[in-house]
Amino acid sequence: MSMFICPVCGEKLEISGKSYICTKRHTFDMAKSGYVNLLPTNNSGSVHGDNKLMLRARREFLEKGYYKPLCDAVCSSVAKYCHNGSIILDAGCGEGYYTTAVKAISDQSEIAVDMYGIDISKDAVDMAAKRKSGVNFAAASVFHIPVMTESCDILLTMFAPYCGEEYCRVLKKDGIMIMAIPSENHLWELKSKIYDTPYKNEVKNYQLEGFEFMDSEKIRYTMEIPENSDILSLFSMTPYYYKTGKIEQQRLNELKSLVTQADFELLTYKKTAKD
């Protein structure tokens, strides 16, 4: 059984061999790694999302455990709300670090969940699918999620673009959304070493249309990063990567080690009923 829908006609996709096929016979073949490309045809040939270099840097950084406290908190939060038969969607899953961890914890707890991950980067979902975690991965946009309406019990969004309308659509009545965001002091020491006038992250109002705010968990700890390659990997995961000039880049390259704050918030919401 699949929760994916056809990006052409919106009909439900079923798995047949190594392909997803809808009732109108639109067919989408799985890649060798196991993911399926469900981006609209007019966009599927374009370059989207993070490139391979950035994805490899992110994977190496995350696999060294620098963000493990956040990953553990995400797994614990999901565990509060999932049950046998839960459908979980990671919207903007990247290379699958958090997705795979959530699925593994569920498996270890002997809770049978059906887990899906989507990302606009085909390179990202290819890397995620190669983890062979039992998660269903697809290349797709969070603004056009190829998942059935009101099919998901839990939606996870880790620093991904926010699309409230689609998130509300795919969640079941009283479905849960778990959202990770950087809090105001995240990577403050790193920014202070690079920029002349660093600024703290803006934490916006928690209220979101279509959702009831339930809880905020703060995850704060100190990261000790002993080598420049890991500092560069961390920096490539941030929005600052795209707007750093030559002088700031030089300062970054000269950092031999770093001690900086990790400061996250994990927000939990429940989908509210429509009037």
Residue 48: predicted pLDDT: 59
Is 210 a residue whose pLDDT tops 70?
A: yes
- 93 assigned to some structural domain: yes
Structure tokens at 105: 């914890």
Residue 45: predicted pLDDT: 45
Residue numbers of the domain that contains 210: 48-271
Q: Which residue has the higher pLDDT, 201 or 153?
A: 153
Percent with pLDDT over 70 in the chain: 97
* Model confidence pLDDT, tens digit, residues 117-159: 999 999 999 999 999 999 999 999 999 999 999 999 999 999 9
Residue 44: predicted pLDDT: 46
- 204 assigned to some structural domain: yes
Q: Residue 102: which residues within 8 A CB-CB, separation 6 or more?
A: 74, 75, 78, 88, 90, 115, 156
Q: How far apart are CA 149 and CA 145, in angstroms?
A: 10
Is 99 a residue whose pLDDT tops 80?
A: yes
- Span 81-104, mean pLDDT? 96
- Span 65-86, mean pLDDT? 96
- Rg of the chain taking only CA atoms, in angstroms: 19
- 37 assigned to some structural domain: no
- 5 assigned to some structural domain: no
Is 47 a residue whose pLDDT tops 70?
A: no
Report the predicted TM-score, pTM, of the whole model to 2 decimal places. 0.93
Query: By the 8 A CB rule, do 142 and 118 touch?
Result: yes
Q: How far apart are CA 99 and CA 107, in angstroms?
A: 12
Q: How many domains does one find in the chain?
A: 1
Residue 196: predicted pLDDT: 92
* Model confidence pLDDT, tens digit, residues 221-275: 999 999 999 999 999 888 887 778 899 999 999 999 999 999 999 999 999 977 5
- 40 assigned to some structural domain: no
- 130 assigned to some structural domain: yes
| Cα 27–Cα 29–Cα 33 angle in degrees, nearest 5 | 160
Q: Which residue has the higher pLDDT, 1 or 47?
A: 1
- 212 assigned to some structural domain: yes
- Span 13-32, mean pLDDT? 96
CATH number of domain containing 75: 3.40.50.150
- 223 assigned to some structural domain: yes
